[in-house]
Amino acid sequence: MKRLIVGLVLVFMFVPDSFAQPGMTALSVSTGPDGQQTYSLSIQVLIFMTLLTLLPAGLMMMTSFTRIIIVLAILRQALGTQQTPTSQTLIGLALFLSFFIMAPVFDRVYQDAARPYLNEEITIQDALQRASDPFRKFMLAQTRSSDLELFAGIAGQADIESPDGVPFSMLVPSFVTSELKTAFQIGFLIFIPFLVIDLVVASALMSMGMMMLSPLIISLPFKIMLFVLVDGWALIIGTLASSFYV
């Protein structure tokens, strides 16, 4: 072990000076003949790493994840099963269902933006612009015009002529607001059948004078049985997936 350490020290002591000199400029911006600016690899890597830190927020705010996870959480609350399924299970299900729903968008981003950029056919600015177009189209299809008008009025940009001119700073909060409203509407419809079962069980227990017994203990098996008999998971997941492309 000592010989290995000594050998490594000797190697690094006699490294030629040419290896110690930087092989590339860390930060540089060059302007081409057509006026376009090209960034060095270091800046591109820095931009890429910065975008990775924003990936979780983008996943939640610009995809179908928000609607799905809220509906699944309301479903668990309606069933009254406490922590079953677990939060990790619901998040994993919502995540992979979001990948399934967003697959056409991701595929278009790869075909129009990622692959040409990796082949050095377009610049990073063009790649970002092309990558934003599929997400813009998806979010506009799910966003209510009333929500867009709300944030346009708050921003003082009521003169937007078409939805394509809506900036991302306005489109993302409008999309999230619409997703929250849609998720709670779906959750309300899911909650009603289970609420009816709770009311029937509570009324039956009170009529029998069993007021000390919690209605949840009696109604839980019936709610689970109803949910299984109607193939509830397939209905919920199928409805959520189809609600984005109706």
Cis peptide before 85 (omega within 30 of 0): yes
pLDDT at res. 19: 37
The 8 Å CB, 24+ separation contacts for 144-152 are 144/174, 144/178, 144/181, 147/174, 147/175, 147/177, 147/178, 147/181, 148/174, 150/174, 150/177, 151/177
Whole-structure pTM over 0.75, yes or no?
A: no
Each residue's pLDDT tens digit in the chain (246 positions)? 544 333 333 333 333 443 344 444 444 445 545 555 554 555 666 666 776 777 777 777 888 899 999 999 999 988 888 778 888 999 999 989 998 998 888 888 888 888 887 887 777 778 878 888 888 888 888 888 888 888 888 877 767 777 677 787 888 888 999 999 999 999 999 989 888 888 888 888 788 777 777 777 788 888 888 888 888 889 899 888 888 874
pLDDT at res. 33: 54
Do residues 186 and 71 touch, judged by C-beta distance below 8 A?
Answer: yes
Half-sphere exposure of 38 (CA within 13 A, CB side): 12
Helix (H) or strand (E) segment spanning residue 64: none
